[in-house]
Amino acid sequence: MKYPQVTTLLSVLAVVFLHGAHGWDAPPFCHSYDCPEFTVVNKYEDFEERAYQVSRWITVDGLGVSDHDVKAGFTKLWDYTQWDNQAGEHVNTHTWPALISTTEVEDGGEKHASFSFYVAPEDTVLPTPNDASIRNETMPACTIYVRTFSGFPSEYNFQENLKKLRDALTQAGRAFDSHRYIAAGYEGPWTLIGRHNEIWVHAA
């Protein structure tokens, strides 16, 4: 089974940088940027249970999860934020995380991927994209199981940590969405130490 290259995500995110979070006490790994608000419900040895509030994202679907697809998806979003929209306006990109969401087809066939930037709460009205494939979507309040890992992300350690998270949830008797998973990135590639990477799995 092939997984998305998280390193590609981090390379594209080199252009997404700087700003303070508003309205809540964001954790240190948000680096004082705007992040979606959540409450830690429980902490376990191998994962954390978070209750996320409603959040908004700009999202584009991809043809797959190859390096090329990931780069193409995030490039579309970046171009949209840099005046490539019908209003010719700049959209705030000073947010974390950026997400690669992957859904597996039940029969073991191809995967469907989407790529997202978090929208800061103060950005109540976004300009209409020139690219019709970009959409403004809302993630409802939900419970997400999260595993964190350090180091520079790679295909290997993403796969390894996703498996560890799923195994830990199964062992703990937690019901979860076994066909969808999300890679969340909080740093650009220039950060060599103290990195914070996350794997998200939605509670069922």
Mean pLDDT per segment of 10 residues, for the chain of length 204 residues?
Answer: 46 42 77 95 96 98 83 93 95 92 77 93 93 96 97 81 97 96 87 91 97
Give the per-residue pLDDT at 110: 67
Could you tell me the CATH number of the domain that includes residue 70? 3.20.80.10
Give the per-residue pLDDT at 64: 77
Is the residue at 18 inside a domain? no
Range of the domain at 37: 28-203
Is the residue at 21 inside a domain? no
Is the residue at 23 inside a domain? no
C-alpha 128/C-alpha 135 separation (Å) is 9
Give the per-residue pLDDT at 109: 63
In whole angstroms, what separates CA 200 from the centre of its chain? 8
The total of other beta-carbon atoms located within 10 Å of residue 169's CB is 22
Is the residue at 15 inside a domain? no
Give the per-residue pLDDT at 68: 86
Reduced to 3 states (helix: H, G, I; strand: E, B; else coil), residue 88 is coil
Is the residue at 11 inside a domain? no
Instruction: Identify the CA nearest to 81 among candidates 10, 139, 17.
Output: 17
Helices (H), the chain: 6-12, 67-81, 155-171
Full-model pTM: 0.84
Domain count, the chain: 1
Give the per-residue pLDDT at 15: 40
Q: Would you mind telling me the total number of residues written for the chain in this entry?
A: 204
Is the residue at 19 inside a domain? no
- Torsion from C-alpha of 105, 186, 147, 120, nearest 10 degrees: -70
Is the residue at 189 inside a domain? yes
Give the per-residue pLDDT at 18: 37
Supply the DSSP string of 23-68, one letter for each residue: SS---GGGTTSB---EEEEEE-SS-EEEEEPPEEEEEEEES-SSHH
Is the residue at 6 inside a domain? no
Using a 10 angstrom Cβ sphere, with 0-12 exposed, 13-18 middle and 19 or more buried, the burial of residue 45 is exposed
